[in-house]
Chain A
């Protein structure tokens, strides 16, 4: 076997199998650090073994056995020494199964543990990327633009809390599942939005994070096929990401939906997304991710921007605001009202939102307001709103767009 081919096989197994191998090893190691160490060792050993024996038919199974064996040996060696931190609480054989009539995949335990509500959101994000996606601390630090020691401390703190507070390594019982799943989906969506419209930094897109989020959502859908919100989230991300190639112009400028070249959208991915939207909306009251995916579908299916079905969008936003009363949803709804009923109808909605302290510092609010004022020909007011938006915006591409609008409306920047 050639070295390059084996190296490629190991890298491929890292991308595809990391979460499965780690999750299965955590159950045996009952310690996140030990499990990570054993899995890393197993990948190193694979390089050597596969060179000699060839790549096994099931690399994931090979790696799992190798990592679990290392974990068991470590426990035998440490049997006389007691570790400082208590072992992870894993379901014992006499516990009721996590969900009726099925053996859960260990990956779900790992995801639910990483996204436990007793961890802060930023800690959930960090250890999900680290443990479930197999990113290094340096990679995660780069993605969130914090220093590596800061991110390392965040990861360590989260792992310590899981062990010391005895956050259990299991899929939550059915009665807690809706809330707990919502936290998991929120984390996956945050990974996506961080990659899709980077909140800070020079680039609008970080495709690696987008792909990790989509992979994660696919895994969740495969493991929980009845969870319509998971399908809704996957659909939402596929539909948004299908426009990836058209969102930034050749000059690095942000392109609005109305300026994007619809012929360059990824039609296969859109078809995939639309199929999932239909599934997510079927049966019972749709959740917030299903509704957001339906909204994305309406935008995607329109032949042109002007031909968007604004009335249908407005109806969907009414449902979404009811399912998820967030000021950001109310803001997006107002933007749609401006299209369906005219800017004059939407302006009072935005003015009301300006008093919501949760939107203080949110640059999309003055940006949306500026756009309505511009369309109403109230140029001096529009310019003032653009200036406010520019001072609040941290993304270079988005800021450049706002500045061009300010210049375009006749004022000096």
Chain B
């Protein structure tokens, strides 16, 4: 078994402009996702908007995300899968209404 991170990249502006019912639909979709994935879901979190982000390079602290882009990292899941095909199958189930997801293997140090 390997672990993979599913990074959810979405257009933040689309959420700012969305109707409250959209938030409910997205929440429901994520709840369904975690039920579907079951115990292969190891962890995950939603993140606060990028306007709350602070970046540190060297020892310089600046306001804002690491890279300014339209599609931003909005949340992530850690999943367990036997190979990339299984991880991608789970990744396809992951809701990302205003964007997409990136699947990255977690590095193992021995």
Residues of A contacting B108 in the complex (Cβ-Cβ under 8 angstroms): 86
Instruction: Give CA–CA (A172, B2) in the complex, Å.
Output: 19
Q: Answer whether residue B83 sits at the interface, using C-beta atoms and an 8 A cutoff.
A: yes
Interface residues of B, dominant DSSP = mixed
**Minimal beta-carbon separation of A34 from chain B (angstroms):** 18
Q: Answer whether residue A224 sits at the interface, using C-beta atoms and an 8 A cutoff.
A: no
In contact, B82 and A89 (Cβ under 8 angstroms) = yes
In contact, A166 and B88 (Cβ under 8 angstroms) = no
Residues of A contacting B85 in the complex (Cβ-Cβ under 8 angstroms): 167-168, 172, 176
Q: Answer whether residue B105 sits at the interface, using C-beta atoms and an 8 A cutoff.
A: yes
Q: Answer whether residue B110 sits at the interface, using C-beta atoms and an 8 A cutoff.
A: yes
In contact, A118 and B84 (Cβ under 8 angstroms) = yes
Residues of A contacting B87 in the complex (Cβ-Cβ under 8 angstroms): 166
**Chain B 79-101 per-residue mask, 1 if CB under 8 angstroms from chain A, else 0:** 00111110110000000000000
Query: Which B residue sits closest to A84, measured CB to CB?
Result: B110
Q: Which of B81, B82, B105, B110 contacts A82 (CB 8 A)?
A: B110
Give the size category of A's interface with B. Answer: 10 to 19
Query: Which B residue sits closest to A116, measured CB to CB?
Result: B84
Residues of B contacting A118 in the complex (Cβ-Cβ under 8 angstroms): 84, 88
Using A118-B88, A172-B85 as known contacts, say yes or no to A166 and B2 having CB atoms under 8 A apart: yes
In contact, A168 and B2 (Cβ under 8 angstroms) = no
Q: Answer whether residue A164 sits at the interface, using C-beta atoms and an 8 A cutoff.
A: yes
**Minimal beta-carbon separation of A317 from chain B (angstroms):** 34
Q: Answer whether residue A165 sits at the interface, using C-beta atoms and an 8 A cutoff.
A: yes
**Chain A 154-173 per-residue mask, 1 if CB under 8 angstroms from chain B, else 0:** 00000000001111100010
In contact, B110 and A167 (Cβ under 8 angstroms) = no
Q: Which of A82, A168, A176 contacts B84 (CB 8 A)?
A: A168
Query: Which A residue sits closest to B105, measured CB to CB?
Result: A165
**Minimal beta-carbon separation of A346 from chain B (angstroms):** 39
Residues of A contacting B84 in the complex (Cβ-Cβ under 8 angstroms): 116, 118, 165-168
Instruction: Give CA–CA (A167, B108) in the complex, Å.
Output: 16
Using A82-B110, A86-B2, A118-B88 as known contacts, say yes or no to A164 and B82 having CB atoms under 8 A apart: no
Query: Which B residue sits closest to A180, measured CB to CB?
Result: B85
Within 8 A of A (CB), among B66-88: 81-85, 87-88
**Chain A 171-215 per-residue mask, 1 if CB under 8 angstroms from chain B, else 0:** 010001000000000000000000000000000000000000000
Instruction: Give CA–CA (A359, B108) in the complex, Å.
Output: 44
Q: Which of A116, A164, A168, A176 contacts B105 (CB 8 A)?
A: A164
Residues of B contacting A116 in the complex (Cβ-Cβ under 8 angstroms): 84
Residues of A contacting B107 in the complex (Cβ-Cβ under 8 angstroms): 164
Interface centre among B81, B85, B87, B88 (most CB of A within 10 A): B85
**Minimal beta-carbon separation of B7 from chain A (angstroms):** 14
Query: Which A residue sits closest to B85, measured CB to CB?
Result: A168
Query: Which B residue sits closest to A118, measured CB to CB?
Result: B84
Residues of B contacting A89 in the complex (Cβ-Cβ under 8 angstroms): 82-83
Residues of B contacting A164 in the complex (Cβ-Cβ under 8 angstroms): 105, 107
**Minimal beta-carbon separation of A86 from chain B (angstroms):** 7
A-B contact pairs, 16 of them (CB 8 A): A82-B110, A86-B2, A86-B108, A164-B105, A164-B107, A166-B81, A166-B82, A166-B83, A166-B84, A166-B87, A166-B105, A167-B84, A168-B82, A168-B84, A168-B85, A172-B85
Ranked 3 nearest A-B pairs via Cβ = A168-B83, A89-B83, A166-B83
20 extra A-B contacts, CB within 8 A, seeds A86-B2, A167-B83: A82-B110, A86-B108, A89-B83, A116-B84, A118-B84, A118-B88, A164-B105, A165-B84, A165-B104, A165-B105, A166-B2, A166-B81, A166-B82, A166-B83, A166-B87, A166-B105, A167-B85, A168-B84, A172-B85, A176-B85
